[in-house]
Chains A and B, each alone.
Chain A
Amino acid sequence: MSAHAIDADYNFGYLDEQTKRMIRRALLKAVAIPGYQVPFGSREMPLARGWGTGGIQITAALIGPEDKLKVIDQGADDTTNAVSIRRFFARVAGVETTEKTNEATLIQTRHRVPEYPLSKGQILVYQVPQPEPLRKIESSEVETRKMHAWSEYGAMHVRLYEDIARYGRVATSYSYPVMVNDRYVMSPTPIPKFDNPKMDNMPALQLFGAGREKRIYAVPPFTKVKSLDFDDYPFEVQKWDEPCALCGARDSYLDEVITDDRGGRMFVCSDSSYCEDRREAGHVGIQIDWAKDQAYLDPNADEAK
């Protein structure tokens, strides 16, 4: 995709310069204290609270004319929220946008880490609804601040262990808590636990913005990120019995698509760009004919095959 004409009614990146400085200072402290939640003066944005305003403010404080921006929601570039946020930055920063993970300098995401490994120099900005991993255990911010200050994470382990006693496993499939740099327990935002291992020692810089809750946190590149677990119940990720129906991938996170009301379903990659690349490279999934019949795929593209 190409660069866009910039909207002259707003400052570059929408935020005023004083606000950007405030966010930039918070970002530097966040990077210096991996996993610690820095309070910041989150501004009102023209998009709703809970719809990515934290991530948007971080991206706005970072973005420059040299950047190439990718925005995903649920792993896909074409979901409503991703489209809306990409349009916003095209309008207020005029930057080039892309769907290719490896071309992007900045990736703003909701709920997924892309399947392609990220590389040094890239920045991944997560939209965070609830930055406090201890909130389900303790409602009070005064108390959770103390728990982090004194590394009092026993209650979190108890909660996970109660799951094991009850269900034989930790019954948390997303927002699975991690320990960052052996110091802070951190919420990895609602990414599926499938993505947790990607956060560990990632070469890219990971930044997290919670607009409504007014918190910023970070994981620097090459930083230890460990999912909480127990020696006798090690952390494990989701697995599927079948590959992606469109591209045949067996290593990606899959979305379930309901195909009829009689129990029919198929599984497809949640990372739409990854899936598309694989199909371009000639990989074919098992239900490709079905999908074509159902117009799930663009019939016009058939000729190019």
Chain B
Amino acid sequence: MYVAVKGGEAAILATHDLIAEERRGDRSVPEVTTAQLSEQMKLATARVMNEGSLYDPSLAALALKQAQGDSIEAAFLVRAYRTTLPRFGSTRPLDTSEMAIRRRISATYKDLPGGQVLGPTYDYTHRLFDFALMAEGETAPAAPIASDPLEPHMPRVPDILGDEGLMEAEVPPDGDPAPFDLTRDPIQFPADRDTRLQTLSRGDEGFLLGLAYSVQRGFGGNHPFAGEIRMGEVPVRFKSEELGFEIELGDITLTECQMVNQFQGSKDKPPQFTRGYGLVFGHAERKSMSMAILDRSLKNREFGESVDYPAQDEEFVLYHSDNVEAAGFVEHLKLPHYVDFQGELELIRKIRKEFDERQSEQKAEKAGEAA
């Protein structure tokens, strides 16, 4: 009896050991802790929380540690975990007007109620290495505390424009139905705004950024104004049907971006500004801005605009923004395909043979004609 050699299972188990070893690296170097990651790699954990669709900085840190810092692999770990979590219900809608602001800027007004709050940002740094960090000789200066507290009232810029009637109103759909849930239902087209916003919010930051850039640069013809970007903590509340009252579950860090776009009007509608909205977990300004630009470009159906550019095509944008799906499908090309490839080989050999036969026939005919 002959038995074909089989080593699949043992080889697969060995890859698990090898990747664990690779992840740990040189054992003489201390192991990184998840607390270090969640405290000192906040922008990375924010990205994992967004693309993993789960607000949990410590799990995001664990995911990053386990994935050797690969943010897509980390988001995948978070998603696979979140899908197993029991669901107790939905929170009350968040109110970002009650955000405990840490940063709030507007590019549309020099000054406004509450003022410009620059907060923590790399925006005004010079991108020069701080070699002290490499020497681990960091002496982090504590940021000075302002003499006066921030103004408690920080109106959102679109609301200011809205009071004047110059901003497109945000009106819930008829009957204010429960929003679509991207994590439980398949997207159907045409997609409503709740579907679009959820998809953008979990979408790949790089993909969103590239598309948003295309809108600004030459494939969309839009240069929006950053009406407001705010970042800070917002309370999350839950109303239990059994208890009958609302409880506060805690605060989460959010970044919200409101883009103000060129005005729009029609025969019956007065000209007004239109809005693009971005809301993401953690401190993630680039992502929130990209999202806001794409939210606006995908509103073409509502405004009767034609679809001329990639960023306006909702199937293109929404189907391809999920990096866990995209990575899975691109990387599945690593799986064996030799059955299909054999089919292609058989076919191309056959077609090639016929082609060669035709060529030599034609050659013979030509030679005959010439003779």
Residues on A close to B: CB < 8 A?
Answer: 10, 16, 39-46, 48-51, 53, 73-75, 78-84, 87, 110-112, 129, 139-142, 167-169, 171, 173-175, 190-194, 212, 214-215, 238, 240, 246, 253-256, 270, 272, 275-276, 279-280, 288, 291-292, 295-298, 301-302, 304-305
Interface contact B8-A48, CB-CB below 8 Å: no
Q: What are 10 A-to-B residue pairs whose CB atoms are below 8 Å?
A: A42-B186, A48-B324, A73-B336, A80-B11, A111-B337, A112-B339, A238-B342, A246-B2, A279-B2, A296-B4
B-side contacts of A51, CB under 8 Å = 328, 332, 335
Query: In this assembly, does B174 line the interface, its C-beta being within 8 Å of a C-beta of chain A?
Result: no
Interface contact B1-A44, CB-CB below 8 Å: no
Q: Which of B8, B86, B325, B351 contacts A169 (CB 8 A)?
A: B351
A-side contacts of B347, CB under 8 Å = 171, 173, 238
Dominant secondary structure at the B interface: helix
**Given known A43-B83, A141-B189, contact A301–B339 (CB-CB < 8 A):** no
Query: In this assembly, does B306 line the interface, its C-beta being within 8 Å of a C-beta of chain A?
Result: no
**Given known A16-B84, A83-B9, A129-B332, contact A41–B184 (CB-CB < 8 A):** yes
A-side contacts of B346, CB under 8 Å = 173, 238, 240
Interface contact B9-A270, CB-CB below 8 Å: no
Q: How far is the CA of A295 from the CA of B3 in the complex (A)?
A: 11
Query: In this assembly, does B170 line the interface, its C-beta being within 8 Å of a C-beta of chain A?
Result: no
Interface contact A174-B343, CB-CB below 8 Å: yes
Interface contact A256-B4, CB-CB below 8 Å: no
Binds A, one of B74-82, B117-125, B148-156, B220-228: B74-82
Interface contact A49-B2, CB-CB below 8 Å: no
Residues on B close to A: CB < 8 A?
Answer: 1-9, 11-12, 76, 79-80, 82-84, 86, 183-190, 315-316, 319, 324-325, 327-332, 335-340, 342-347, 350-351, 354
Interface contact A44-B80, CB-CB below 8 Å: yes
Q: How far is the CA of A265 from the CA of B304 in the complex (A)?
A: 60
Interface contact B337-A80, CB-CB below 8 Å: no
Interface contact B189-A81, CB-CB below 8 Å: no
**Given known A44-B79, A192-B339, contact A276–B329 (CB-CB < 8 A):** no
Closest to A112 in B: B339
Q: How far is the CA of A117 from the CA of B189 in the complex (A)?
A: 40
A-side contacts of B189, CB under 8 Å = 140-142
- Nearest-neighbour CB distance to chain A for B54, whole angstroms, equals 10
A-side contacts of B330, CB under 8 Å = 50
B-side contacts of A16, CB under 8 Å = 84, 86
Interface contact B76-A48, CB-CB below 8 Å: yes
**Given known A50-B332, A301-B1, A304-B1, contact A111–B8 (CB-CB < 8 A):** no
- Nearest-neighbour CB distance to chain A for B326, whole angstroms, equals 8
Q: How far is the CA of A191 from the CA of B79 in the complex (A)?
A: 30
**Given known A169-B351, A238-B346, A254-B342, contact A301–B327 (CB-CB < 8 A):** no
| Given A49-B332, A168-B351, 20 other A-B residues pairs in contact with their CB atoms under 8 A | A41-B186, A44-B82, A49-B325, A50-B329, A80-B11, A169-B350, A173-B343, A173-B344, A174-B343, A190-B337, A192-B340, A212-B328, A215-B186, A238-B342, A246-B4, A256-B338, A275-B4, A292-B2, A297-B4, A301-B1
Q: How far is the CA of A39 from the CA of B188 in the complex (A)?
A: 9
Q: Which of A42, A139, A305 contacts B315 (CB 8 A)?
A: A139
Interface contact B329-A49, CB-CB below 8 Å: yes
Q: How far is the CA of A173 from the CA of B351 in the complex (A)?
A: 12
- Nearest-neighbour CB distance to chain A for B222, whole angstroms, equals 23
Interface contact A80-B336, CB-CB below 8 Å: yes
A-B pairs with lowest CB-CB distance, top 5: A49-B328, A173-B343, A50-B332, A214-B186, A50-B329
- Nearest-neighbour CB distance to chain B for A259, whole angstroms, equals 15
- Nearest-neighbour CB distance to chain A for B78, whole angstroms, equals 9
Q: How far is the CA of A272 from the CA of B4 in the complex (A)?
A: 8
B-side contacts of A49, CB under 8 Å = 324-325, 327-329, 332
Q: Which of B3, B186, B190, B338 contacts A40 (CB 8 A)?
A: B186
Closest to B7 in A: A78
A-side contacts of B82, CB under 8 Å = 44
Interface contact B327-A48, CB-CB below 8 Å: yes
Interface contact A46-B80, CB-CB below 8 Å: yes
A-side contacts of B339, CB under 8 Å = 74-75, 111-112, 174, 190-192, 253, 255, 270
A-side contacts of B84, CB under 8 Å = 10, 16
